[in-house]
């Protein structure tokens, strides 16, 4: 993490943050990183329900007291259990925190477990920085069958009696490391003429998806047993489909394969040690309701998502101008001579995302952190 210097100077910007800044200021939202959009069944049902008058009538008949929403700002890194969709996970956390706003930074399939970063309140403004970061997965490939979804939920399409050796697998891995071309799975969230690929595949259509460049920073074989399964670890960039790795490796080896277990252990700046199981969050919520704890203990600060971005400390007078959306002239001996994206702090508190250019500091996203925020100790835990 790059901390503000005493004189407000800016450290050298990294390449990762340069890629991220193109998205935060354009307002673009990116899709799923690693697999089929697990929300497709729940999403379809929710759309039907919201348009159905019976749905609204049923809601009105619910006599339970309505809980007031509140301002909650920060990140919760849920250790998502197997079987839960990412959309459902966001809904559960939004209810636990009674938060007004929530969203996740990259879909994780129902089949998968592990890190699902959920942004609450003003943290939603930093989601693109997390989505553009690296991801690490630990996954198990079952050899001998290829399935139409490239995981255990799909229909078997090809089989083989062959089983690969560890040596043959390791010899192949360099072909899947670095910048490669990858064809997304048929069951993916890619849009084809306005339709999701998984919707077309579910209707029996075969879609020709174009190869896309993805970057695999590391791919290793960590376990290989006699049970017809192999365990891998992969660290990759945005847009990589882990299920496609299993499919393509199996095809080249001639034995076919599909994912039978998947866990995400790293998402951008968020590590496995940051993850909180749902049961622990629910227990914390119950203790907080009885006055024995605080949900702030589960939050990571909003700026945790900005670890790879330079920080700039400003005076209170400059902070007031930035808060009103006005640019600030950068003058004097300590004025930074670089350009690009920074996150701005005042008295150690996050104020804005801004761009430096032509001797000015121009605010692009201003944060209003009034409400429930992370406990002070959560920042120190990660140093």
Cβ atoms < 10 Å from Cβ of 140: 17
pLDDT per position as a tens digit, 292-343: 888 899 999 999 999 989 999 999 999 999 999 999 988 776 667 677 899 9
Average pLDDT, the chain: 82
If 0-12 CB within 10 Å is exposed, 13-18 middle and 19+ buried, where does residue 199 land? middle
Largest CA distance in the chain: 72
Q: Return the CA Rg of the chain.
A: 23
Is the pLDDT reported for residue 186 higher than 70? yes
Q: Residue 289 has what pLDDT?
A: 86
Q: What is the pLDDT of residue 76?
A: 97
pTM strictly above 0.85: no
Which are the contacts of 93, defined by CB distance < 8 A and separation ≥ 6?
A: 76, 78, 99, 102, 118, 120, 281
pLDDT at 372 over 50: yes
Catalytic residue among 33, 79, 109, 308: 109
Q: Model confidence over 22-31: pLDDT tens digits?
A: 333 333 333 3
46 or 196: which leads in pLDDT: 196
pLDDT at 184: 87
Q: Is 109 a catalytic residue?
A: yes
pLDDT at 37 > cutoff 50: no
- Specify the range with the lowest mean pLDDT, choosing from 32-46, 71-85, 353-367: 32-46
Look at residue 333 in the predicted model and tell me its pLDDT. Answer: 61
pLDDT level of residue 71 (50, 70, 90 thresholds): very high
pLDDT at residue 57 tops 50: no
Q: Is the pLDDT of residue 271 over 80?
A: yes
235 strand-pairing partners: 136, 218
Question: Residue 377 has what pLDDT?
Answer: 62
- Percent helix, strand and coil across the chain, each to the nearest 5: 30, 30, 40
Contacts of 3 (CB under 8 A, 6+ apart): 311
Q: What is the pLDDT of residue 3?
A: 34
Residue 357 has a pLDDT of 86
d(CA 335, CA 315): 13
Task: Measure the CA–CA gap between 184 and 239, rounded to whole angstroms.
Answer: 9
Q: Which helix (H) or strand (E) holds 190?
A: none
pLDDT category of residue 191 using cuts at 50, 70 and 90: confident
Q: Report the distance separating Cα 329 and Cα 322, nearest Å.
A: 11
Q: Is the pLDDT of residue 7 over 50?
A: no
Pick 155 or 42 by higher pLDDT. 155
**Residue with the two structure tokens 């077309």:** 200
Say which residue the tokens 């910048």 belong to. 179
pLDDT given at position 266: 96
The region, left, alpha or beta by phi > 0 then psi within -120 to 50, assigned to residue 162 is beta
Cα–Cα distance for residue pair 205/195, rounded to 1 Å = 12
Alpha-carbon gap, residue 286 to 290, rounded angstroms: 7
In the structure, what pLDDT confidence band is assigned to residue 203 with cuts at 50, 70 and 90?
low
Q: pLDDT digit string (tens) for 97-128?
A: 999 999 999 888 889 999 999 999 999 999 99
Question: What is the per-residue burial (b if ≥16 Cβ within 10 Å, else e) of 214-248?
Answer: bbbeebebeebeeeebbebbbbbbbbbbbbbbbbb
pLDDT of residue 177: 97
The predicted model gives 222-247 an average pLDDT of 94
The pLDDT value given to residue 41: 38
How confident is residue 185, by pLDDT bands cut at 50, 70 and 90? confident
pLDDT in the model for residue 18: 32
């Amino acid at each position: 993490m790059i901390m503000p210097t005493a004189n407000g100077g800016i450290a050298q910007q990294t390449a990762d943050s340069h890629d991220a800044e193109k998205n935060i200021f354009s307002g673009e939202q990116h899709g799923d990183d690693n697999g089929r959009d697990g929300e497709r069944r729940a999403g379809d049902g929710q759309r039907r329900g919201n348009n159905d008058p019976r749905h609204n009538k049923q809601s009105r008949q619910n006599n339970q007291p309505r809980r007031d929403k509140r301002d909650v700002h920060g990140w919760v890194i849920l250790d998502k259990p197997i079987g839960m969709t990412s959309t459902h996970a966001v809904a559960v956390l939004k209810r636990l925190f009674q938060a007004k706003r929530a969203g996740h930074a990259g879909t994780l399939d129902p089949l998968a477990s592990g890190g699902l970063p959920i942004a609450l309140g003003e943290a939603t403004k930093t989601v693109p920085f997390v989505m553009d970061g690296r991801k690490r997965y630990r996954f198990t490939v079952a050899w001998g069958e290829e399935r139409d979804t490239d995981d255990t939920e799909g229909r078997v399409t090809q089989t083989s009696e062959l089983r690969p050796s560890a040596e043959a697998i390791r010899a192949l891995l360099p072909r899947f490391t670095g910048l490669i071309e990858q064809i997304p799975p048929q069951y993916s969230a890619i849009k084809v003429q306005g339709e999701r690929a998984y919707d077309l595949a579910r209707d029996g259509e075969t879609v020709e998806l174009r190869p896309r460049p993805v970057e695999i920073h590391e791919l290793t074989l960590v376990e290989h047993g006699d049970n017809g399964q192999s365990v891998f670890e992969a660290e990759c960039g945005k847009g990589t489909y882990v299920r496609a790795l299993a499919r393509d490796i199996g095809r080249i080896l001639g034995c076919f394969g599909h994912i039978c277990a998947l866990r995400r252990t790293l998402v951008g700046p968020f590590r496995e040690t940051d993850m909180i199981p749902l049961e622990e969050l629910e227990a914390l919520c119950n203790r907080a309701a009885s006055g024995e704890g605080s949900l702030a203990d589960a939050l990571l600060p909003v700026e945790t998502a900005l670890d790879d971005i330079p920080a700039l400390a400003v005076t209170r007078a400059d902070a007031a101008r930035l808060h009103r959306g006005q640019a600030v002239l950068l003058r004097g001996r300590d004025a930074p001579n670089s350009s690009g994206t920074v996150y701005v702090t005042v008295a150690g508190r996050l104020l804005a995302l801004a761009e430096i250019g032509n001797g000015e500091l121009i605010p692009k996203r201003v944060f209003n952190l009034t409400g429930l925020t992370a406990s002070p100790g959560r920042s120190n835990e990660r140093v």
